[in-house]
Each structure stands twice: as structure tokens, then as C-alpha cells.
Structure 1
Amino acid sequence: MPINKNALIRYRALDRCLKNTTRKYSAKDLLREVERILESEGFEKGIVKSQLHADMQYMQDFWKAPILAEKDSLDRRITLYRYSDPLFSIENQPISEVESKVIKEALSVLSRFKGMPQFEWINEIVPAIQDKLGFIAQDREVISFESNWDYEGLRNITPIFNAITNHRVLKITYQDFRADEPYSIFFHPYYLKQYNSRWFAFGLNEASSNSYWNLALDRIQDIVETQDEYQYNEIDWEEYFDDIIGVTRRIEDELEEVRLWFPPEQAPYIKTKPLHRTQKCKEDATGLEVSIKVVLNFELERTILSFGSSMKVLAPDKLKNQIKSKLQLSLSRYED
């Protein structure tokens, strides 16, 4: 069965005690040592005696640990524990077949990030692990992720990521698609997000005092790190994006219930790939009605329009009218 972090720390603490040839440990000694190690790793509670015996039994079953229990020669009421083989340690044991399979699968996934900014270390660590553990690399790829290696914003991921982790203020030269000339801002970066194969940086724009400023990485022309004082924030970015599809929202915007209709042939795709985490479905012979609670934005409209004739907006009316107008405009462009 899988071993969680807490359990692994306990096993290693017990292993260090049991392989110590200079002393023997009672159950009380072992409990005290495990509690000390757990506290040093940030865990608040130790373990009880029944858990201690369960841990030692697991070590015997999983690693074939030669745990020897013997009575204290000075007090027969006390049982002392040690390894019968002083050279044994769970750290010296070869990985199991199941562990080997899991590691190979993880390396296969990691290998897909080779060449991406901020993942340069993968080029060294993956072959090193494969060599150390005696793995043979796949002679062909068996998994593929969506990627856009020609995306111009890739070069900007590393400097912005470093600025976020090191709390640095950046002077960014930016070319907005709606502006004729590029402009510069002093930017305190807080968060990076990928959406629809593009990357976006969110942070504080000093000029506007807006902590939710959004920059598309492919529109950034230049990045210069400054010595200005970095302004921290407590924004929960996961919560911020939880209420939207995409990356665009205004702070003052509120959640709205969006109701959509799909024909029967489209229903299986929508049910197996929800539009949003709040999606609720109601299906009958005429089709599938879906409701989601989101902030209305540009990306939501784009998502709806991508379904073409395979969707109808039922509510709210303002969204329904916006989609209808855009479809009418699109249709007019086909008229001679």
C-alpha cells in the first residue's frame, strides 16, 4: 500500500534507532524518538504504542526487517528492540517492482517538460535517476501533452517566475494589441497562469495601484529587474480563478447563473468534460440543460461561440443577446 510522508518519517526514525549498535531501545524510548523526529518535521502529534507495534510489523512485512525483541537483563518487565543484523537498514533495500513502476511513470511524465523554461533541471535529473536505479529509457514516446513551442511568451516565464519567488519588482515594456506604441510599467508579479496554450502574469501595477493587473507573456517586449521595494499581497489566486473560465475578470463583477442548452448528440461530451466545476446537468429526450455559476467574461463568450450551432444560451438575457449579436455579425460576413 502507498506510504504517506508521516509514515515514512516514522519508519526512518525507527530504522535509525534499531540499527544503532551502541544501545537498545525500549518501546518508550522509540516512541519518544519518533515524536521528536515528527515534531522537527512539522507534525504536531507523536504516535501511541499500538501504532509503534504496527509500524514495526509493517517494516518486517514490507522490508523484511530483522527486528529482534528481547527482555532487559536488568528489568525483565522491559522489552528492548534492535536489528539482529547490524548491517541491515531499510535505506539499503532495493525498490520494489511496484515502486519501480511508479517511478518510471513519473519520469515519463517529467520528461515531457524537457526544454521548457524553469524545467532545465529535468535534462540532468531524469537520466541520473534512470542510471542510478538501472532503468532503461523508452525508445519511443508513449505520452504526449498539448504544447506550443513557438509561443513567444515562453522566454518570459523564467524571469517572471524568479521575480515572484525572490520578491523582485520588474520594469516591463509591454505592447498591447490595441495600442500603437509599447509602454512601460513597474510590476510586482504575484502569480503565473496558463490558459488556452498562453501564459499570463498577474500582479500589482504601480501606476494604477491595481493588484490584479494581467499581462500576456507573449506581448512583453522587455523585462528589467529593479531594486524597488516589493509590495506583498495576501490574494488567494486559486479562489480568484475559481469563479471564472479563463483569466479575465473585474473585481466588482459578481457571480451569475449561466444556463445553456445542448442537443442530445453533444451531451456526452459536455458531461464528461465539464465547462466549469459548478456545472449541473438536467437531461431529457430533447437535449441537455447545463447550469454554471461564473463571472461573465470574454473567455466564457469564446467558449460558447466555439460550440457553434451545438449550443444555445438560455440565460442570462444579456449574455444571450451578446452571443446572438456576435453570431449575426459572423453570418453577415458570409453575405455577398
Structure 2
Amino acid sequence: MANSKHAHVRYNILDNCFRNKAFTFKELLEYVNLKIADIYPGEGISERTLREDIKLFKDPINGFGAPLEEMSRTYKYSDANFSIALKPLLPYEKELIDASQQLLQRFENHPKYNKLAEALIKFQDEEDEEIDKSKILFYDHNEEYKGIKHLKPFYLAIQKKQVLQIKFKGFKDEVPTTFEFHPHILKQYNRRWFVFGYNKTEERWQHSIPLDKRLINFNILKDVEYEESQKDWEAFFRTMVGVRRTSVEVEKVILKFYNGRENYFKTKPFIPDFEEFFEEDKQDQVWFMAIINPELIQQILSYGQDVEVLEPDNLKIKIIEHVIFLKENYVK
């Protein structure tokens, strides 16, 4: 096994190199050390470690079986579609996953580790499926979502307080726009990721960018001072469904459910801070404080005929407008 210190960081860097450009050994060593130093300042690898990594990449039995030319003076995949991310886990990586699961058992009653344990189980289930074609888990997954590749770079940009130049083209935009962006937080909604921050070009705080194909590219701006956010993000999202803050006014929303659907809402509310009524004749109702935005309307409409908006009036009107529009589409 190759040098295990920051091994998987190196593998991802090398995988990206081999997919996108032909590097000489010297260029590869310099580039890998530069990228490692970005994450682990002052650290790097030797020529020997790099040669061991390349050997591991080529090894079809105990490695990744990467299509690297044996006699070439440069290193690049001969198959443009190859990536180690598409390969099964190596034997020692499976051992690490198993060891991690055993370690997590000590914290199984701690809610902080639930998400990680879930991720490890999903990962292991997919690996087991590669072996015997059986499948135990079927989970909600957006297979067409490519924006996940942006998640780590933006996470690191926020962590390192880096200012970015963003090139973005909305679905209805004729030409892309470019702006200076100071990223502050990442939020997931409806199986997609969004980054919130300060759009300095337009002087807009809490500006959101979806991490999908509309984000054409981004670059780190050197020697530009990063502007911190003073926003209480938990409070910001507490009264908001989704990511679009089309209003600043927080209103009391009262919903009445039919056919016992209030029980479904209570097991998975779209606003975390909802309240129930004490009155016996209102056990099928809930209320919460929220801003009225398109995502809230979509969530209410998802209950179809089993929900009624009692308050506020402006939300009732928006729901009625949607119902009328739907009726006009279907009854012609």
C-alpha cells in the first residue's frame, strides 16, 4: 500500500490530473505538492511516494487498473471516461470503512453521528451490490444532479475565507453574468445544494447560487479582502422553506388537514417550529411562523385536497390562483 498520509487527497488530485491534462513526472510532482500544501500547509510528498501512487493506479488487481500508458513520458488516461471514483473500493479501503463502522458503534446513541453512520451504510450497500448484485437500500437520490462536484470547492472556499469570481447564467438569461462573491454558508434543499454569500458586484447580501449547470465556472480572487457575514443563519432559515426569501415579513400560517394527513405533516414538517392546538376540535390543525415564498406554496400543494389554508388571507389567495390555473390547464 502507498504512503497512507493524506493518500486519498493525493488520489483525487492525481485522478483529476490524469483526466484533464498530460503531465510529465516532474510537473505532476510539483502540481500534487502544490495542491497538498493548500490543504496541509508545509507538507508534500517525495518522488518515491508519487511513483508508488502511479504504480497503485496502474495495478489491475490491488489498485485502480487505470489506463495509463506504460512507455509514455507523460501521464494521462487513454480513456477519457475513466475515473477512480467509478471503481470499487480497494481491499484496504474496505477495511477502513469496516473499522469506521466499528468505531461509530461506540457513539451509536449520539445523534451527532447518525448522518455519518447512514453515509457509511449507503456506501457499503453499493459496494456489496457490486459483488453479488443484491440491493438492500433504496434511497432518494438525484442521479442527474451534477452540481455535487462543486460542493467541496465551495466548502473549502468558505473555510479558507476565499473571495470568488463567479460566472453564472440563469435558465432565462441570454448571456452569463460575472460577479465578485464572498461565500458564507452552504444549504441543501430538495436534493440540491446552494451557496449563500455576499454578491459585492451587486451589493447584495444573502445572495444564493444553485450548484448546478447554471454555475458556469468560478475562480479564486487573490489579494481581495474577504467580507464576513453577520447574519444569524439558523434564524434566517428557521422561518423559511427552501432557499428563496421573496419576502421579509414573517406571518402566522394555519393549516387544516383532512383524512388524517396532519399525522404525516407532524412526522416530517416543512417548518421545524410548528405548534399544535389544544382545542379538541382543532386537533387536525397546525400553525407556524413563516415567510410566504414559492417553496412554502409548493409544499402545501403537495398535500393536494387533504389540506386547507385557514390563514393568512394572502396565502389563501395564492393557493386559489394555483388551483384556478391548474383547472384551466386540464378543463378546456
TM range (shorter): 0.5 to 0.7
Write the letter of the residue equivalent to 2:146: E
> CA separation of 1:297/1:333 partners in 2, compared to 1, >3 Å: closer, same or farther?
same
> CA separation of 1:313/1:225 partners in 2, compared to 1, >3 Å: closer, same or farther?
same
Matches of 2:219 and 2:155, distance apart in 1 = 13
Matches of 2:282 and 2:122, distance apart in 1 = 44
Checking the alignment, whether the CA contact within 8 Å between 2:193 and 2:211 is kept in structure 1 is yes
Q: Paired residue for 2:84?
A: none
Checking the alignment, whether the CA contact within 8 Å between 2:104 and 2:117 is kept in structure 1 is no
Give the gaps of 5 or more residues in structure 1: 1-94, 116-137
Instruction: Return the index of the structure with the highest Cα Rg.
Output: 1
Matches of 1:249 and 1:274, distance apart in 2 = 19
- 257-266 or 106-115: bigger deviation: 106-115
* 1:158 has 2:167 as partner: no
Q: Paired residue for 1:249?
A: 245
1:177-225 CA-partner distances (Å, limit 9, x unpaired): 2322221111110010000101101001012211210111112111111
Q: Paired residue for 2:22?
A: none
Q: Paired residue for 1:147?
A: 141
Checking the alignment, whether the CA contact within 8 Å between 2:242 and 2:296 is kept in structure 1 is yes
Matches of 1:158 and 1:275, distance apart in 2 = 27
Could you tell me how far 1:311 is from its partner in structure 2?
0.8
Q: Paired residue for 1:225?
A: 220
Could you tell me how far 1:234 is from its partner in structure 2?
2.4
Report matched runs for 1:10-159 at 5 Å: 101-102=105-106, 108-111=117-120, 145-159=139-153
Matches of 1:257 and 1:289, distance apart in 2 = 13
* 1:205 has 2:199 as partner: yes
Could you tell me how far 1:331 is from its partner in structure 2?
0.9
Secondary structure of 2:249's partner?
coil
Matches of 1:256 and 1:192, distance apart in 2 = 26
Question: Which among 279, 287, 299 is matched to residue 303 of structure 1?
Answer: 299
> CA separation of 1:139/1:176 partners in 2, compared to 1, >3 Å: closer, same or farther?
closer
Could you tell me how far 1:285 is from its partner in structure 2?
6.3
> CA separation of 1:272/1:233 partners in 2, compared to 1, >3 Å: closer, same or farther?
closer
Matches of 1:215 and 1:100, distance apart in 2 = 34
Could you tell me how far 1:278 is from its partner in structure 2?
2.2
> CA separation of 1:100/1:333 partners in 2, compared to 1, >3 Å: closer, same or farther?
closer
Could you tell me how far 1:253 is from its partner in structure 2?
1.0
Q: Paired residue for 2:272?
A: 277
Secondary structure of 2:217's partner?
strand
Could you tell me how far 1:146 is from its partner in structure 2?
2.8
Matches of 1:162 and 1:263, distance apart in 2 = 46
Could you tell me how far 1:334 is from its partner in structure 2?
0.5
Report percent identity of matched pairs: 30
Write the letter of the residue equivalent to 2:315: L
Checking the alignment, whether the CA contact within 8 Å between 1:262 and 1:287 is kept in structure 2 is no
Q: How many residue pairs are counted as aligned between the two chains?
A: 220
Could you tell me how far 1:102 is from its partner in structure 2?
3.7
Secondary structure of 1:181's partner?
coil
Checking the alignment, whether the CA contact within 8 Å between 2:199 and 2:207 is kept in structure 1 is yes
Secondary structure of 1:211's partner?
strand
Write the letter of the residue equivalent to 2:240: I
Q: Paired residue for 1:234?
A: 230
Q: Paired residue for 2:209?
A: 215
Question: Which among 270, 284, 293 is matched to residue 289 of structure 2?
Answer: 293
Could you tell me how far 1:148 is from its partner in structure 2?
1.9
* 1:178 has 2:172 as partner: yes
Secondary structure of 1:333's partner?
helix
Q: Paired residue for 2:56?
A: none
Matches of 1:286 and 1:164, distance apart in 2 = 45
Q: What TM-score do you get using the length of structure 1 for normalisation?
A: 0.58
Secondary structure of 1:265's partner?
coil
Following superposition, which runs of at least 4 residues in structure 1 exceed 3 angstroms of deviation?
98-108, 112-115, 138-145, 282-287
Q: What TM-score do you get using the length of structure 2 for normalisation?
A: 0.59
Could you tell me how far 1:141 is from its partner in structure 2?
6.2
Write the letter of the residue equivalent to 1:260: L
> CA separation of 1:114/1:221 partners in 2, compared to 1, >3 Å: closer, same or farther?
farther
> CA separation of 1:186/1:291 partners in 2, compared to 1, >3 Å: closer, same or farther?
same
Matches of 2:104 and 2:171, distance apart in 1 = 50
Matches of 2:117 and 2:282, distance apart in 1 = 44
- 265-274 or 204-213: bigger deviation: 265-274
> CA separation of 1:100/1:298 partners in 2, compared to 1, >3 Å: closer, same or farther?
closer
